[in-house]
Amino acid sequence: RSRSDDDYDLLMKVVLIGDSGVGKTNCLSRFCRNEFQTNSKPTIGVEFATKQLTMGNGDLVKCQIWDTAGQERYRAITNAYYRGAVGALLVYDVTRRKTFESIERWLRELREHASADMVVMLVGNKTDLETQREVSVQDGQDIAKREGLLFLETSALDGSNVEEAFTRVATEIHGIVR
Ligand code: GDP
């Protein structure tokens, strides 16, 4: 049957976190609109986009994905950003070691503000820049295993694994809720 925009079985809020410049906004625009922007837009204020996904059992899930829109620069992510979130994509840049080293800090912040049973996917973005890589796949896998996170490497530029990252989080949450 055809369904209207508001006819879904489950609404889930998913937040994007991680250092500035790692590609959060571009992962979101790649997933929701299949777009990529070479120039970064330092918009201030929270923005979100939605995307509907059909689960294996036919359930229609509406994902509301929130982007920090630059707040992380000022360490000013507020409670409201995390409120009600059931999933998170914690993004780092595989070409900037520093952004990988921030993961522990982001996890502490998540544990302070978010619910303990939130589904968290660690995302190593910018795999298209292979020659500039500063973080190995193994490094990402190790920390994900230690911290109990899902893990994928992505490229918002060429699109690889972006849909998989969001879909896996949504599928995991759907499996818990249903
Ligand atoms: P945010 O601050 O985390 O939201 O990062 P943006 O999405 O604004 O991206 C920061 C910069 O990295 C921009 O210049 C993007 O074009 C670039 N960028 C984002 N994702 C990728 C990617 O997968 N590959 C490459 N090569 N550049 C990317």
Q: Whose Cα sits closest to atom 26 in ligand 1? A: 126
**Residue 61 has what pLDDT?**
96
**Residue 15 in contact with residue 123, Cβ under 8 Å?**
no
Q: Which of 28, 40, 90, 134 to mutate to test the pocket of ligand 1 (most atoms within 8 A of CB)?
A: 40
Which whole number is the average pLDDT over 26-48? 79
pTM of the model: 0.94
**Nearest residue by C-alpha to atom 2 in ligand 1:** 21
User: Is the model's pLDDT at 44 over the cut of 60?
Assistant: no
Which atom number of ligand 1 is nearest to the Cα of residue 72?
A: 2
- Lining residues, ligand 1, CB within 6 Å: 20-26, 37-38, 40, 125-126, 128-129, 155-157
Enumerate residues 6+ apart whose C-beta is below 8 A from 16.
Answer: 24, 25, 27, 28, 65, 66, 67, 68, 88, 89, 91
For ligand 1, atom 13, which residue shows the shortest CA distance? 40
- Looking at residue 163, its pLDDT comes to 97
Mean pLDDT of the chain: 91
How high is the pLDDT of residue 37?
Answer: 84
The C-alpha atoms of residue 85 and residue 66 are separated, in whole angstroms, by 9
User: How confident is the model over 133-167, as pLDDT tens digits?
Assistant: 999 999 999 999 999 999 999 999 999 999 999 99
Q: How far apart are CA 20 and CA 28, in angstroms?
A: 14
- Interface confidence, given as ipTM, is 0.99
Separation of 40 CA from ligand 1 center, angstroms?
7
CA-to-CA separations, 4 to 9, 55, 75, 78, 131, in angstroms, rounded: 12, 17, 38, 33, 45
* Paired residues of 71 in beta bridges: none
